[in-house]
Amino acid sequence: MSPIDYKSSGVDIDAGNEVVRRIKGLARSTFTPGVLSEIGSFGGLFRLEPGRFEDPVLVASADGVGTKLKVAFLANRHDTVGEDLVNHCVNDILVQGARPLFFLDYLATGRLAPDVAEQIVAGIARGCRANGCALLGGETAEMPGFYAAGEYDLAGFIVGAVDRARVVNGSTLQAGDTLIGLPSAGLHTNGYSLARRIVFEELRLAVDSTLPGMGTTVADALLAVHRSYLRAIEPLLDEPGLVRGLAHITGGGITDNLPRIFPDGVGARIDRRAWDVPALFSFLGQAGQVPVDDMYRSFNMGIGLIVACRAADASHVITALEGSGEAPRIIGELIAGERRVTYVE
């Protein structure tokens, strides 16, 4: 029997070292003054800037990109999913009032391809720079026999901070408050199992096919980057009490995500006529004959974030959001009742 080494078993340590070499510069490009360590350390070191917070509360979250990765594999396009991941995680802590501090990534694959890994981390670094968030470290795991050839999984972990007095938790929400929706950039990172079944299995389209009536390819439509709402929401958070609640519309849609911020005795009435549902969602719904209620639980339907505020503050909030380049819409209001969403047509 020939000698067996790690490389012949499927793990290429040299390829792993090459990935680290390539991504060091990308990671350094995201470093903020709080970073005290280099990429390659066993742990990342981060120091809160003195004076930035009076009574800091750390807010952490973890997420993945889901089966959107399957579209990236088919399109052989890997430079956007990392940005998706960062923006999703940023939004998840933003809705509690937190600004991002640092980010960690986990990339796992069957056989490590340095070019692909570099593209993925380039997207992560781009997202981190745009959000003022340091890419502090991560893990790249080569796991032969665990993933199909050419496939990988990607997860992210974020830590942010907010002053305790400015935590946004929905506790002051009450009937009569206004709900303002901010546009999404497509599916973001949710609903892809349903979308892929409709597009690839039922319609038998390819990633380079043009979506009927939309003038864009399947890849461009389905790989549109998940938006970050940090820059739009930050100015509102600087006015204590102005924002009473924030909901990131991810898996479960408006139906399941909005009630997560409600106190007892509060529900919501959403007017589906208040915004124009983007053509991609209408196409998927019609092509797959998806029931309307399922659409609003599977997809964001064009609303990526919801801001809740007093009715008296709604004009001020809308003006501030418009000033940041957003196109906000009043989409409903809070009502007395069960913690659930009721839709009106």
> How would DSSP label each residue in 70-110?
HHHHHHT--SSHHHHHHHHHHHHHHTTTPEEEEEEEEEEES
List the one residue out of 63, 261, 60 whose CA is nearest residue 173. Answer: 261
Give the SS3 label for residue 40: coil
Strand segments (E) across the chain: 56-64, 99-109, 134-142, 152-163, 178-183, 245-248, 266-271, 303-309, 329-336, 341-344
Q: Which pLDDT score, from 0 to 100, does residue 127 have?
A: 98
Phi, psi for residue 194 in degrees, rounded to 5: -70, -45
Q: Which pLDDT score, from 0 to 100, does residue 21 have?
A: 79
Q: Which pLDDT score, from 0 to 100, does residue 152 have?
A: 96
What topology does CATH give the domain 178-344? Answer: Phosphoribosyl-aminoimidazole Synthetase; Chain A, domain 2 (3.90.650)
For the chain, residues with pLDDT lower than 70 are: 1-14, 16
Q: Matching CATH topology for 9-166 and 178-344? A: no
Distance, in Å, from the CA atom of 163 to the CA atom of 170, rounded to the nearest integer, reads 16
Encoded amino acid at 34, one letter: G
Q: Which pLDDT score, from 0 to 100, does residue 16 have?
A: 65
Give the tens place of pLDDT for each residue, 170-211.
999 999 999 999 999 999 999 999 999 999 999 999 999 999
Q: In which element (H, E) is residue 67 found?
A: none
What is the pTM (predicted TM-score) of this model? Answer: 0.94
Q: Which pLDDT score, from 0 to 100, does residue 18 have?
A: 78
Q: Which pLDDT score, from 0 to 100, does residue 12 have?
A: 64
Q: 9-166: what CATH class?
A: alpha beta
Domain boundaries, the chain: 9-166, 178-344
